[in-house]
């Protein structure tokens, strides 16, 4: 089966971890009989901006819309382009125009990586955060009045639609139903945000009728953040609105150690448009050019991409390969962020070799 993938490394360490992401993908593809057709693009980067005065070519939508998926590195180089321009001009365009309404992040404690939470070991933390990615608290409805005067007023309205909420809840329930524990936790705040959040709770309950096998609970967002730290083992799939999901999807991976290994997916579940897979980290200007960035976030994002495209075995093999290399703990192979003295390439090669069998 042929998969057409748009490859966009972006800036900084994005350009260093991408080759290792591709090395792992190619190894998995050849082992599992998947044909990868890769198309490389230099746009959505600050170098492209320096040359063209914009982050994307005018025809980017047409260029990308028929790919099966987008494999992305990281964008941003604040020394030359302000972050709001680089981010809004690239990644956020993709998320919006390709209606990637699910932001998905696994939170999983890996072997050989120390959790900042005391005494946690692999197996204790293994859940997903599902964030609504298009509406909610991040709306453009509102404005300022009487600016600069004593009467200054500012309003920004939360917008939740039945269409937008139900589709992300459906994705979260499906994901929970596909996992052994079959448990869904909803982030709410119906005691304080007394209009939208009780309604969110109603939609969660309503969708739950279709998934009788999935056990559902809910927490107010404040105690939920505390429970991520105190009882991360309670969670299997956690679904949240845009704002709450933004917070949880940083906190969850943070509980599992280094940012260098965390992957994420921006998904258009219906496949009307390509979904986008990228590491959680940014372009890391402080270590860019040194060849020491951890490539696992990129490699794991590639595994999520294969899983999204229906290649579950290949995806599982990639995860098993980097878990095995981490568990081995060879300092000469591992990158400095996980206690090694190796390079992006040494770690990437070790994982690809393991994958080849
Ligand atoms: P960052 O994630 O790039 O770096 C934060 C810290 O983590 C740095 O100390 C960095 O060295 C370290 N780090 C990150 N990835 C690592 C890896 N793979 N291995 C080892 N260490 C790693 O976040 P920062 O510094 O706030 O942002 C830098 C630039 O990246 C900015 O322009 C920002 O806008 C952009 N950015 C882009 C994102 C994206 O493309 N989705 C996400 C976050 C930031
Ligand atoms: Mg965030």
- Parallel, antiparallel or unpaired: strands 126-132 and 237-240: parallel
So what CATH class is 126-255?
alpha beta
From-to residues of CATH 3.40.718.10 in the chain: 1-100+269-357, 126-255
* pLDDT the model gives residue 77: 97
Closest ligand to the CA of 243: 2
83 CA → ligand 1 middle, Å: 12
Q: What is the pLDDT of residue 140?
A: 86
- The CA distance from 51 to 32, in Å, is 40
Alpha carbon of 283 to ligand 1 centroid (Å) = 5
| Contact (CB, 8 A) for 281 and 75 | no
Q: Which residues contact 170 (CB under 8 A, 6 or more apart)?
A: 207
297 Cα nearest atom in ligand 1 = 18
Q: Domain 1-100+269-357 has what CATH class?
A: alpha beta
Our CA angle for 268, 129, 299, nearest 5°, is 70
Distance 8 CA to ligand 1 centre (A): 16
Q: Which atom, in ligand 1's list, is nearest to the CA of 336?
A: 20
Catalytic residue set: 138, 189, 222, 246, 250
Per-residue pLDDT tens for 178-234?
Answer: 999 999 999 999 999 999 999 999 999 999 999 999 999 999 999 999 999 999 999
Number of H helices, E strands in the chain: 12, 12
Q: Give pLDDT, residue 141.
A: 94
Query: What's residue 156's pLDDT?
Result: 94
Residues with Cβ–ion distance below 5 A, ligand 2:
246
Closest CA to 110 of 344, 283, 331, 321: 321
pLDDT at 238: 98
Averaged in consecutive runs of 10 residues, what is the pLDDT profile of the chain (357 residues)? 95 98 98 97 97 97 98 97 94 94 96 91 94 93 96 97 98 97 98 97 98 98 97 97 95 90 96 97 97 98 97 97 96 95 98 93
């Amino acid at each position: 089966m042929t998969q057409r993938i748009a490859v966009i490394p972006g800036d900084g360490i994005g350009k260093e971890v991408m080759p290792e992401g591709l090395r792992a993908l190619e190894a998995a593809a050849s082992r599992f009989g998947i044909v990868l057709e890769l198309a490389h693009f230099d746009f959505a980067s600050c170098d492209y901006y320096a040359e063209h005065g914009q982050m994307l070519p005018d025809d980017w939508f047409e260029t990308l819309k028929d790919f099966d998926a987008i494999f992305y590195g990281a964008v941003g180089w604040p020394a030359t382009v302000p972050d709001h321009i680089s981010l809004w001009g690239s990644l956020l365009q993709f998320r919006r125009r390709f209606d990637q309404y699910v932001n998905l992040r696994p939170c999983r404690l890996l072997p050989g990586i120390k959790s900042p939470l005391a005494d946690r070991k692999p197996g204790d933390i293994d859940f997903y955060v599902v964030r609504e990615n298009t509406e909610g608290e991040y709306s453009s409805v509102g404005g300022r009045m009487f600016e600069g005067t004593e009467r200054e007023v500012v309003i920004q309205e939360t917008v939740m639609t039945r269409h937008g909420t139900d589709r992300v809840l459906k994705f979260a329930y499906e994901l929970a139903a596909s996992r052994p524990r079959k448990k869904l936790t909803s982030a709410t705040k119906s005691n304080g945000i007394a209009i939208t959040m009780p309604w969110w709770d109603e939609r969660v309950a309503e969708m739950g009728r279709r998934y009788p096998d999935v056990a559902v609970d809910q927490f107010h967002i404040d105690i939920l953040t505390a429970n991520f730290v105190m009882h991360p083992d309670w969670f299997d799939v956690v679904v949240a609105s845009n704002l709450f999901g933004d917070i949880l999807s940083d906190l969850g991976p943070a509980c599992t150690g280094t940012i260098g290994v965390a992957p994420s997916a921006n998904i258009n579940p219906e496949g009307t448009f390509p979904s986008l897979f990228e590491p959680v980290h940014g372009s890391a200007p402080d270590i860019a050019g040194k060849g020491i960035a951890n490539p696992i976030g990129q490699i794991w994002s590639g595994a999520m991409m294969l899983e999204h495209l229906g290649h579950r075995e290949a995806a599982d093999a990639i995860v098993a390969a980097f878990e095995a290399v981490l568990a081995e703990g060879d300092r000469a192979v591992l990158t400095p962020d996980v206690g090694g003295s190796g390079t992006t390439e040494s770690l990437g090669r070790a994982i690809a070799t393991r994958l080849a069998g």
